[in-house]
Amino acid sequence: MFEMSSNMLYIAFGLYLLSTICFAVSITGKKFKNKTGEERNKSALFGYVTAVGAVGFSIAYMALRWIAVGHAPVSNMFEYTAALGIAMALAFVILYPIYKNNYLGLFTMPVVMLIIAYASMFPTEAQPLIPALQSEWLYIHVITTVIGQGILAIGFAAGLLYLVRMVDFTKKDKKVKGVEFIMFTLVATVAYVGIVGGFQAAGYEAEFQYINEFEEEATIAYNLPPLVGPNEGELISEQGFDPPILMPEFIVSEDVNTILWSVLGGMVLYLLLRIVLRRPVGGALQPLVRNVNPQTVDEISYRAIAIGFPIFTLGGLIFAMIWAQIAWTRFWGWDPKEVWALITFLFYAAYLHLRLSRGWQGERSAWLCVIGFALIMFNLIFVNLVIAGLHSYA
């Protein structure tokens, strides 16, 4: 059963890819075969149907895994992050029929794939639940939150689409740099997945003996070749080599090593893209989205956030408070994760109020959508893995 659930996710991943391709064809196809309007329409339909199928398989993955492990598959980094990708796809599948915007598909599906691929870099095996998580509120709270965040993430995809459509890439100003930074982040994530996934598949492991922050001897295993080593580290495995630089004891050298690999890999990929395209990546995408109506995309992003905000609030704050009251005796305790959920809430509240005033529609609003999504990812990754609080189970 467990294995079968994993296979479902693989199939879903393939379908997300297929859907991306279909949406790409539905857009670029116009240019090449102007007369065959009929066929063009079909590839968009096919893209949507594939996306629906992908979501179906994704849900099958969740259901089977739920049955296999005995609890909702939203309890560690892999499961939660994958659920976020799936929720984003689900939100797209629901929103697409309203606006029938193929460009949105072209921007959403790759992000969904990237999130799921990123998720699978975390340990994917089944994990038992510690007592604090043994509650039906686990799924009520987490699933509601993740659906809310998935819908908010559509706001990001539409915002990015807006920016790629509207920013003037012939200039070299802050806006272009901003869009290029988003592109770089996406590319660096691709690099991270490629590098970590590759070495994982190859079974790479370099082990070091080192002195940890408590000044004790310890060992640490690297799954990537060591660009930087641990404090007073000495290689003790066959694989690997002596790294050129050693880190001081208070830094988790393995994480620094992984980040270094991702950033370097991202830079290489990004530079390659720049060389091949000979212009900013956003600028290269712009001709593709020339026919996008900016008003429509702006409205899609606004609607996505207006729809996602109440759901996120319900799951991420209200249900969270109910559960915290039951499990931790208080509904609110200023734990970092709680605070960052509040910050996300306040941020989107500010966004909604800004939308009431003129001058905050369109481009500025698109930037806000991007920042909002950055907050969600920050809360998921940085707060979970770096700022340890009560929530850090993974």
Residues that bind ligand HEM (CB under 6 A): 306, 346, 349, 352-353, 355-356
- Rounded to 5 degrees, what angle do the CA atoms 22, 302, 20 make? 10
Q: Which residue is nearest to ligand HEM (CB)?
A: 349
Phi (first) and psi of residue 222, to 5 degrees: -100, 140
Q: Which does 239 bind (CB under 5 to 8 A by kind): other proteins, ligand HEM, none?
A: none
Q: Name the residue nearer to other proteins (CB basis): 135 or 185.
A: 135
- Is residue 389 a contact partner of residue 166, using CB atoms and an 8 Å limit? no
Query: Six-digit token pair at 213?
Result: 């922050």
The residues near 320 (Cβ < 8 Å, ≥ 6 apart) are: 141, 145, 338, 341
Shortest separation between residue 225's beta carbon and ligand HEM, angstroms: 48
Query: Within 10 Å of residue 372's Cβ, how many Cβ atoms?
Result: 25
Q: Name the residue nearer to ligand HEM (CB basis): 226 or 315.
A: 315
- Is residue 149 a contact partner of residue 331, using CB atoms and an 8 Å limit? no
Q: Name the residue nearer to other proteins (CB basis): 197 or 362.
A: 362
Q: Name the residue nearer to other proteins (CB basis): 45 or 321.
A: 321
Q: Which does 36 bind (CB under 5 to 8 A by kind): other proteins, ligand HEM, none?
A: none
Q: Which does 18 bind (CB under 5 to 8 A by kind): other proteins, ligand HEM, none?
A: none
Q: Name the residue nearer to ligand HEM (CB basis): 268 or 352.
A: 352
Task: Report the alpha-carbon distance of residue 392 to residue 383 in Å, rounded.
Answer: 8
Helices (H), 100-173: 102-119, 136-166
Residues in touch with other proteins (CB under 8 A): 2, 68-69, 98-99, 123, 125-132, 134-135, 137, 166, 168, 170, 286-287, 290, 293-296, 299, 302-303, 306-307, 309-310, 313-314, 318, 321, 325-331, 333-336, 339-340, 342-343, 346-347, 349-350, 353-354, 356-358, 362, 383, 387, 389
Shortest separation between residue 355's beta carbon and ligand HEM, angstroms: 6
Shortest separation between residue 267's beta carbon and other proteins, angstroms: 27
Return the beta strands (E) in the chain as ranges: 206-211, 217-222, 228-229, 234-235, 245-246
Shortest separation between residue 7's beta carbon and other proteins, angstroms: 16
For 335-339, which contacts have Cβ atoms below 8 Å and span 24 or more sequence positions?
335/389, 335/390, 335/391, 336/383, 336/387, 336/389, 336/391, 337/379, 337/383, 337/384, 337/389, 337/390, 337/391, 337/392
- Is residue 16 a contact partner of residue 90, using CB atoms and an 8 Å limit? no
Shortest separation between residue 290's beta carbon and other proteins, angstroms: 5
Q: Name the residue nearer to other proteins (CB basis): 112 or 375.
A: 375
Q: Which does 68 bind (CB under 5 to 8 A by kind): ligand HEM, other proteins, none?
A: other proteins
Task: Report the alpha-carbon distance of residue 320 to residue 331 in Å, rounded.
Answer: 8
Rg, Å, the chain Cα set: 22
Q: Which does 99 bind (CB under 5 to 8 A by kind): other proteins, ligand HEM, none?
A: other proteins
Q: Name the residue nearer to ligand HEM (CB basis): 45 or 343.
A: 343
Q: Name the residue nearer to other proteins (CB basis): 181 or 328.
A: 328
The single residue listed with the structure tokens 């590759």 is 198
Shortest separation between residue 368's beta carbon and ligand HEM, angstroms: 13
Shortest separation between residue 203's beta carbon and ligand HEM, angstroms: 50
